[in-house]
A and B are shown apart, each in its own frame.
Chain A
Amino acid sequence: MKTNKRKTPKVLKKTAKDSEVNVKVNKGAPQNANLKPTPARIFIIGESPMVEQYAVLCAQHGYDVYISWNQKPTQKPEFKCDGIKITNIIPKNTSLVIELTNIDFLAKKKNLERFDKVLADTAPILSSSITLTATEQSSWILGRHRLVGISALPTLIQKPLVEIAPTIYSPKETLEVAKLFFQSIGKEIEIVQDRIGMVLPRMLCRIINEAAFAITEDIALPQDIDKVLKLGVNFSLGPIEWAEQIGLKQVYAVLKALHTDLQEERYRISPLLKQMAFTRG
């Protein structure tokens, strides 16, 4: 029986430069120059369309990408780039996994437990932690040292910055590998505290929620709400546009998690938003 002992794998005690984790750094050659260069293998699982968006980005930056979903999308996605394989099995020699589940906590737990059993000790787990803290997720697995929380919502990975949240178990080496990974796909990181909603998802979902209340109260037409926020307050997108981009099911999941976590009336969810999340998603 495995003991529930925190251990930092030897490879993670080395500096990032010496790391045997074959993470492609700024499109450079793998760190061990004696081996024939091979693309690092990444496994991505979770919810559509985040899985597809991460997959395309990683494949474009030269990774060997394997993907799966908790629930297959109704339409099979067509990828315009090579290097993405659909599989239910976590492939051998997976260097890094990305878990992108915000809604189905049971599926998330199953995924993390699978990673814990199958993956090498050196493989980091980057897991979306906007509806469940990374620390709570870490409590489900023995290899707690390798899980780092990330802020993941549809389309956010297309921006040049990613919020990441270390857990109380994360050694600095795990964070360094996470940073190197994101840099290798052209992103910088911002380290924030491990809290539900992190920074931007929390703010955006509250704005969308407030717009839903305003629509319910007939204050203005939905299309006018976007117009006001963009022309009057210089939002890049209006709240309705943000909701369409993120998906109401995701927005609802974040708001529900905030309401449960903080137990405040402030975070109560608009009934209209809840209804639309379940009927239109």
Chain B
Amino acid sequence: MFKQLGIVGTGAMGTGIAQLAVLSKIDVQLYDVNDTLLRRSTVRINANLRKMVSLGKLSQEEVQASMDRIRTRTSLPDLSHCDLIIESAIEDIRVKKDIFKHLDANTKSTTILASTTSSLSITSIGAHTRNPERIAGVHFFNPIETSALVEVVKGYKTSNQTIEKIIELVNLLGKTFIVVKDTPGFIANRVSQPLFGEALRLLGENVANAEQIDRIVKIIGGFPAGPFESMDQFGIDATLAEAQSLFEQSYGEPRFRPHPILKQMVESGWLGRKTSKGFFSYEKTNDK
């Protein structure tokens, strides 16, 4: 049983995991670098839980009890008594290695340390720590509230015991798990990469335009969303970062080479929905 779950980082993923955890009656120590970020996160969780009340999924009392399970922290050593700590900071290997170095120094050797990275090597993140056998990956999918699956990533030195603990947590959070090997992109990002990579190639080669490709993929392929609307939703910058990571980690495997279109769009500031312009335009027209 988990007495305390530590979460490092209050981005969308970290906040989502915290919300899931408190709803599953797990106490959470939520860490970020300053109080502003922490407050933003707890406000978001509170708002989400209140929405669930209005939908009849939760009672007021359960909202209060859930929020009471969250303790906010701005000092990593404050997480030292957690049974398991999930790191959910930005997707930057140097930042993650630094966090793990601090966690390694300030936790018991039995504390499980996990990263939500979707594209970086768990083995690499945990390298040079005292006990790499306690380090694993726990890759959640967006949107975390409704996505059923978690990839549990076994690094080169990750012990079976660590995997069992992660699985225990994933089950408590009500998710389905698959254990995967620590390789570039794991399974989901790697095997789905051709959907986006080939879509970009087809666009670049003028075989069809973005609307056509999305329509074909949805109507004939049965996908819920086309590759271009998905990239606009996820963010062109995030898509490029993930593609770049997969390409670099595989030492330049040609199958994973990012398409130049992505770089050009990012440099032009066309990042998708968040900038109202990506492969499609989302600009609101002024009503006269």
Contact = CB atoms under 8 A, between A and B. Distances in A.
Contacts of A210: 190-191, 193-194, 255
Contacts of A204: 221
Greatest chain A CB density within 10 A among B148, B195, B221, B257 is at B221
Interface stretch (B11-19, B62-70, B172-180): B172-180
Given A219-B187, A220-B187, A265-B254, A236 B222 contact: yes
Interface in B178-233: 178-181, 183, 186-188, 190-195, 197-199, 202, 205-208, 212-213, 215-217, 219-225
Contacts of A225: 187, 191
Interface in B76-93: none
Given A159-B220, A198-B207, A231 B176 contact: yes
Contacts of B188: 228-229, 232-233
Greatest chain A CB density within 10 A among B148, B181, B215, B255 is at B255
A203 B199 contact: yes
Given A228-B151, A228-B187, A220 B179 contact: yes
B198 A203 contact: yes
Contacts, number: 130
Contacts of B224: 234, 236
Greatest chain B CB density within 10 A among A160, A206, A209, A237 is at A206
A163 B149 CA distance: 33
B159 interface: no
Contact of A236 (B191, B206, B223, B254): B223
A190 interface: yes
Interface in A244-273: 264-266, 268
B160 interface: no
B147 interface: yes
Greatest chain A CB density within 10 A among B179, B183, B194, B202 is at B194
Interface in A210-248: 210-211, 214, 217-220, 224-225, 227-229, 231-237, 239
B141 interface: yes
Given A207-B191, A264-B254, A265-B255, 7 more contacts: A163-B220, A199-B216, A210-B190, A210-B194, A233-B141, A236-B223, A239-B191
Interface of A: 156, 159-163, 190, 192-193, 195, 198-200, 202-204, 206-207, 209-211, 214, 217-220, 224-225, 227-229, 231-237, 239, 264-266, 268
